[in-house]
Amino acid sequence: MSYLNFLIIFVCLPLLVSLCAKKLLAKPNKTERLPIALMAFVALVYTAPWDNYLIMRGIWTYPTGGVVGVLGYVPIEEYFFMVLQATLAGVLWSSWVPHSQYTKLRFSYTGLLMALLVGLAGALSLMHTAGTYIGLILVWACPPLALQWGLGSHTLIKSFKTWAPLWIGLSIYLCVADYYAIFKGVWSITPATRTGWGIGHLPVEEILFFTLTNLFVLQGMCLWRAWRRDAS
């Protein structure tokens, strides 16, 4: 299977179905088109340099002829994946996550400290070759977590039960898709750069990656709603 075929089947089709279901079943909410677009844009801008670095280091590899083309070190399909995954998460959020009683956004030293500890764990992991991939994930995750947890951990905790099912479900779905992609050789993870823990063909680092990327988008949408509530 090529990366393009994977992208169409596992990301584009679910996004199309989600958009159709949103139009037919859910109440339209035009005010959330902007944050969805913003999340997709931030996902692309923030993740692209990190992806390029990982592939340059040989952590991710792709078979010759399995991608349409490459921009920098990253397959063109990967750039679309960044945007489409964030869009899918945002559309599902907008369609199915109910509005809750959001608390007013306020700074949290505890939230900021927790995010910094994530970054510290990543930095320590980078001291070992087998911790390279998981370390880079945690260090990369630290800034957005610091921003989101520092600004709105109270809001995120209070509203957690409204968006936790979507977070868990979407993360499981993408991990299953990732498992299939690795099994079919769409991409691979260099064994020397990972811990060796995982489920079958799926490294624990990939589980962590999709769990965090979905978390960033859903937390961002939650904080957007809270900010809109404060602004109004």
Nearest to 224 by CA among 179, 183, 173, 163: 163
Give residue 130's Cα distance to chain centre.
23
Under 8 Å between Cβ of 112 and 150: yes
Q: What is the mean pLDDT of residues 22-44?
A: 81
pLDDT digits (tens, 9 = 90+) for 72-93: 999 999 999 999 999 999 999 9
At residue 191 the predicted structure's pLDDT band, cuts being 50, 70 and 90, is very high
Nearest to 188 by CA among 88, 66, 82: 66
Number of separate helices (H) and strands (E) present in the chain: 8, 6
Q: Is the pTM of this model over 0.75?
A: yes
Q: How far apart are CA 168 and CA 30, in angstroms?
A: 26
- Tokens 């913003």 found at: 38
Percent over 70 (pLDDT), the chain: 95
Residue 5 to residues 20, 66, 184, 197, Cα–Cα distance (Å): 21, 10, 12, 28
